[in-house]
Amino acid sequence: MKFEAPTEQEIRALAEELGFHWNEEDAGAYTSLIAGMSALYAALDAAPDPLPQRAPGDRTWRHPSAEENPHNAWHVRTAVKIRDDGPLAGLRVALKDNVMLAGVPMLNGSAIFEGYVAEIDATIVTRLLEAGAEIAGKAHCEDLCASGGSHTSIGGPVHNPHRRGHSAGGSSSGSAAAVAAGDVELAIAGDQGGSIRIPSAYCGTVGMKPTWGLVPYTGIAPIEFSIDHTGPLTRDVRSNARMLEVLAGPDGIDARQSGAPAGDYVAALERGAQGLRVGVLSDAFDDDVKSAPVESRVRDAANALASLGCRVEELKLPLHRDGAPLTLPLLLEGSFFNLETREGLASPPGVYPPGFMQRVRDWRAHADRLAPGPVVFGLTGALVNRRYGRRYYAKAANWARHMQQLYDEALAGFDCLIMPTTNIVAPPLPAPDAGVLERFAASVATGRNTAVFDVTHHPALSLPCGHVDGLPVGMMLVGRHLDEATLYRIAHAFEQSCDWRELS
């Protein structure tokens, strides 16, 4: 696509649409000046795009057969590796399929990206490869990452390895399923409303949503700048801590980052959890009979932490239940604004792959194939933006800051808050012929405890703490900003004290 100089008629029509009313003399002058700007864009057309260099390594890829992909966790399989040593040597990692791996298709769960091949390596891809990991492929994610279920990807539903026909959670559905099934030891997941932690809870894995900005988001398809997170999803706590040490730290590009370095998370595991104060957030528990078995497992886990020497107390924070929905416009309007105005980009500075931007710009060509979640979010955002501009987005951002202060105050007296990640275990997938209402409900049913910590930016870790009816239960630990080490200490102490697979 090449820049075409605007016509005089086009300039005048646009000016009138934007509210400029020129006399004939001024119209001629402005038309001449604006048309003269075309040379700038012609020069850019002639110049190459100075994108980051990709890491070495064979980028051969293939679509897996049904036999080697029984849970439909995988979009494509690869074997990208550049070294045999490093902190992650010998470990295989699945990338959530919104992460760019140059030369390999990226679907992002959506018809919008069918046929798109990533133009760059995400920063975290380079870091994983330099740490000795092997990238084993791209794992399916939900349509534009806008679902907490695992039924909306254009590549088909992802099944829970613990029970076929049940949800693997979303939007990092394939990442959790691949780890839970033993296909890989490590996975990259992403989180804007719970998309690391919900699939971790449903599949019985360990998922860390780090503090906002700790892990660079460069080269990952965004949803909304202020709530985009990416992080590790693994089978155990130690592996998760090892992986975060590799992923974390500034890359000099992502404007989300504050400059905070990676912590020494693995060493922190040896310090144990004795004496740490743990607050059981009572407002995160439901009275619904369906939630009782899950919440019983989480309370049993809290008692287990008390037996390990933690000081466990109940904590009330009513706005956890009532205030969190007031921040949802950040997701609704932010995702629309990112799609429609930024063409899938983060705020500057950043890296801007032209092919990716063009795919996002052309989203309307695939509108009728989008899942209910992106449709509802997009139309709501468009409607509110057209009527009121950014007024409600701004008000939601003010509420997010207020909520952050409330949790900060609670965490001044506790080292960690605990609660159910989700109040149910993995539900059945919607039937293939399910209607819009059922498919949408299955996408948004489980984020009540998770979404608020995306807008407040606190680190939150989900780890398994038992079963209900043979399906995993997730317990969520929430900590102070940039204090992932304490969450790892508590999670590791619990994990080492019992075999959660035997808890029911």
Enumerate the active-site residues: 96, 171, 195
Q: Where are the beta strands (DSSP E) in 258-374?
A: 277-281, 311-315
Q: What would the two tokens of residue 221 be? A: 């398809």
Which helix (H) or strand (E) element contains residue 92? strand 92-96
Tokens 């660079």: give the residue: 216
Residue 471 bridge partners (DSSP): 468
- What is the distance between the alpha carbons of residues 234 and 181, in angstroms, rounded to a whole number? 11
Virtual CA dihedral for 294, 300, 303, 309, nearest 10 degrees?
A: -90
HSE, side-chain direction, 13 A CA sphere, residue 390: 10
Residue 3: DSSP 8-state: -
| Distance separating alpha carbons of residues 160 and 380, to the nearest angstrom | 31
- Asked whether 245 and 266 are in contact (CB, 8 A), the reply is yes
CA dihedral 123, 128, 134, 137 (to 10 degrees): -40
Between CA 475 and CA 305 the distance in angstroms is 12
CA 462 to CA 477: how far, in whole Å? Answer: 6
CA triplet 445, 320, 448: central angle to 5 degrees? Answer: 10
d(CA 192, CA 449) in angstroms, rounded, equals 13
3-state secondary structure of 386: helix
**How many angstroms separate the CA atoms of 409 and 154, rounded?**
42
User: Which pair of tokens denotes residue 36?
Assistant: 């003269």
Q: Burial, 180: exposed, middle or buried (Cβ in 10 Å; 0-12, 13-18, 19+)?
A: buried
- d(Cα 121, Cα 204) in Å, to the nearest integer? 29
Using CA atoms, how far apart are residues 248 and 238, in angstroms rounded to an integer? Answer: 16
Q: Report the 10 Å Cβ neighbour count for 120.
A: 23
Beta strands 159-160 and 163-167 are antiparallel
